[in-house]
């Protein structure tokens, strides 16, 4: 697989030279400073691409866009959407003209990935990202005060949520809110409790079927343009794979993925296989999902989570969580061999090590939550070892 690394642009505390030191050569990037619904111009794309590739000794290239965001009105099906569809199509055309042809995106309403702790301690020091169901419930029921929220968790979780809230203070509330909002990079709206309560009203009465229909409408509008430009769109699964704050999430399991891919059949309508997002649902067999949709996987996020019985989970070491990472990598490499045997020039699947632990010199550095250098480099090294072993045992895809 092609080793890539997510970089948040010039504001990232991680330098491009450090990415090269990890061994990765492909960069996963986005123009986070551009707001929803605005065109990514050729000039803006070329400027970022030139920055990434300026030092030829590093050998870095911009390989994947993550993400080209979908405007909230599209998810809601709100009003005349053709101008927003055309903006998205134009951005796709501009990216293709600049030689960037893989675009990761998601269709999660309002929020991106969501955690309740950004610095859960790990043995020996360092921290990880964590989702505590009782803290989420405390926020939803007692801080957000969303009607009906208490009915969506078990009595046991609700009791723990009440105990947490009763023992908490304003600093705890601020920390929890900041954690929940942390998954939104760049020019994305962040909310306080009152603001989130207000914006959620836009989804009153919007059902799962409504969001699905709006997603299909989006795909019908943009996939033909992507296909004509030779681009690969790859939807990212919901993280976590469950509805949050009453918002329907519709890319959480194999059935959801099949619906999306079958809605608009095209080589350009594909999947970002995120092992951590899918792995947070105990019902998901991630290697089996990868096997089922292997020919539509255009990008892979490889990370692992360790789940608790109540639905909480924590980011684990890449090879130490609940997902059999060796089995998953084997599926992806087998798909690469199949593509190469067909003579495809794009047989490689770009892969990046996802959320890493904050370790050693990263502690206190202030990198984007979940995206330190050392923890991700450790994960990449472990994954590289798995790939090398599979190549040696089963034959090289190269």
- Helix, strand, coil tally for the chain in percent (to 5): 45, 15, 40
Nearest to 133 by CA among 370, 311, 263: 311
Q: Which percentage of the chain shows pLDDT scores above 90?
A: 93
Contact, 107 vs 115, CB < 8 A? no
Residue with structure tokens 């206190």?
A: 364
Residues annotated catalytic, as ranges: 236, 274, 301, 354-355, 371
* Entry pTM: 0.94
Does the pLDDT value for residue 398 go beyond 50? no
Does the pLDDT value for residue 188 go beyond 80? no
pLDDT of residue 397: 45
Tokens for 196, please give them: 């989130």
In whole angstroms, give the CA distance from residue 360 to residue 319: 19
In whole angstroms, give the CA distance from residue 131 to residue 152: 16
Does the pLDDT value for residue 187 go beyond 60? no
Please give the order of strands across the beta sheet that includes 127-131.
117-121, 127-131, 313-316, 304-307
For 116, half-sphere exposure in the C-beta direction (CA atoms, 13 angstrom radius) is 20
pLDDT of residue 394: 87
Contact, 4 vs 24, CB < 8 A? yes
Contact, 8 vs 185, CB < 8 A? yes
Angle between helices 82-97 and 208-228 (to 10 degrees): 40
pLDDT-based confidence at 159, cuts 50/70/90? very high
The H or E element spanning position 193 is: helix 193-200
Nearest to 75 by CA among 171, 214, 234, 172: 214
Contact, 397 vs 340, CB < 8 A? yes
Query: 10 Å Cβ neighbour count for 294?
Result: 18
Average pLDDT value for residue range 183-208: 82
Residue with structure tokens 């000039």?
A: 43
What are the chain's domains? Answer: 2-112+207-394 (3.20.20.150), 117-200 (no CATH)
pLDDT in tens, 137-157: 999 999 999 999 999 999 999
Mean pLDDT of the chain: 95
In whole angstroms, give the CA distance from residue 180 to residue 174: 10
Nearest to 352 by CA among 6, 118, 9: 6
pLDDT-based confidence at 136, cuts 50/70/90? very high
Please, what's the b/e burial string for 101-119 (b: 16 or more CB within 10 A of its CB; e: otherwise)? bbbbbbbbbbbbbbbbbbe
Helical segments of 293-369, H only: 325-341
Does the pLDDT value for residue 64 go beyond 80? yes
pLDDT of residue 34: 92
pLDDT in tens, 227-245: 999 999 999 999 999 999 9
């Amino acid at each position: 697989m092609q080793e890539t690394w997510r970089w948040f642009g010039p504001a990232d505390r991680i330098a491009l030279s450090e990415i090269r030191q990890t061994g990765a050569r492909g960069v996963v990037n986005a123009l986070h400073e551009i707001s929803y619904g605005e065109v990514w111009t050729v000039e803006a794309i070329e400027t970022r691409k030139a920055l990434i590739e300026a030092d030829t000794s590093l050998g870095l290239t911009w390989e994947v866009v993550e993400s080209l965001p979908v405007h909230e009105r599209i998810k809601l099906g709100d009003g005349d959407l053709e101008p927003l569809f055309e903006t998205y199509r134009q951005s796709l055309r501009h990216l293709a003209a600049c030689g960037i042809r893989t675009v990761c995106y998601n269709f999660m309403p309002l929020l991106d990935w969501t955690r309740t702790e950004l610095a859960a301690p790990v043995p020996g020091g360092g921290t990880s990202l964590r989702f505590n169901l009782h803290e989420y419930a405390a926020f939803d029921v007692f801080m957000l005060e969303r009607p009906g929220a208490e009915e969506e968790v078990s009595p046991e979780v609700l009791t723990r949520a009440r105990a947490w809230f009763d023992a908490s203070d304003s600093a705890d509330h601020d920390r929890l809110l900041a954690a929940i909002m942390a998954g939104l990079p760049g020019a994305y709206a962040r909310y306080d409790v009152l603001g989130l309560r207000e914006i959620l009203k836009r989804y009153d009465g919007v059902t799962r079927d409504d969001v699905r229909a709006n997603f299909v409408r989006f795909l019908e509008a943009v996939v033909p343009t992507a296909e004509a430009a030779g681009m690969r769109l790859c939807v990212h699964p919901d993280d976590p794979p469950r509805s949050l704050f009453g918002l329907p999430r519709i890319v959480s399991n194999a059935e959801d993925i099949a619906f999306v891919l079958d809605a608009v059949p095209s080589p350009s309508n594909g999947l970002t296989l995120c092992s951590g997002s899918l792995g947070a649902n105990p019902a998901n067999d991630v290697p089996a999902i990868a096997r089922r949709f292997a020919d539509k996987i255009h990008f892979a996020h490889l990370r692992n989570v360790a789940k608790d019985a109540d639905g909480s989970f924590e980011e684990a070491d890449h090879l130490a969580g609940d997902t059999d990472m060796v089995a998953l990598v084997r599926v992806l490499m087998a798909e690469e061999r199949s593509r190469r045997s067909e003579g495809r020039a794009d047989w490689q699947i770009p892969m990046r090590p996802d959320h890493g632990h904050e370790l050693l010199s990263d502690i206190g550095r202030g990198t984007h939550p979940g995206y330190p250098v050392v923890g991700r480099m450790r994960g990449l090294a472990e994954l590289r070892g798995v790939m090398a072993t599979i190549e040696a045992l089963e034959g090289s895809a190269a």
